[in-house]
Structure 1
């Protein structure tokens, strides 16, 4: 779970290039545009997500941003971190 939070916090605090490098370490090849769109989702994050997990509506929005193939890889990464 800490890795999930770390990734989402990174979207708010790191540059696009730093996030892109971090994502690659986890096997995710994100574009700058995808990172910027995910950042806007991360800005809506709530502390309750630590307990409840990322809301389904946010995950659906992430799927729209990433596309089905990348989203499945992203979701698998999140599930492994839990």
Structure 2
């Protein structure tokens, strides 16, 4: 889980190109446009979600940013990593 939190923090501070390379290293297929769309949502992520689950409202925001199919894929990858 620590790697995932570090990943999220690094995506927030890296340039678009660096964030894309980082996502690729984690095996997460994101375009630069998708990274830009997701960045504003990263500050909403809470450690408490490990215990309570990710709120449906946040899942909806992610899907609105990257599309339903990509959103589902991202959450599946998240669940596989925790």
Q: Kindly report which structure 2 residues correspond to 1:45-64, keeping only aligned pairs within 5 A, or say none.
A: 45-46=45-46, 48-49=48-49, 52-64=52-64
- Residue 10 of structure 2 corresponds to residue 10 of structure 1: yes
Conserved 8 A contact 2:11-2:22: no
CA RMSD of aligned residues (A): 2.1
TM-score relative to the length of structure 1: 0.75
Conserved 8 A contact 2:37-2:66: no
TM-score relative to the length of structure 2: 0.75
Inter-CA distance 13–2: structure 2 relative to 1 (3 Å threshold)? same
Unpaired runs of at least 5, structure 1? none
Please name the residue that 2:27 is paired with.
Answer: 27
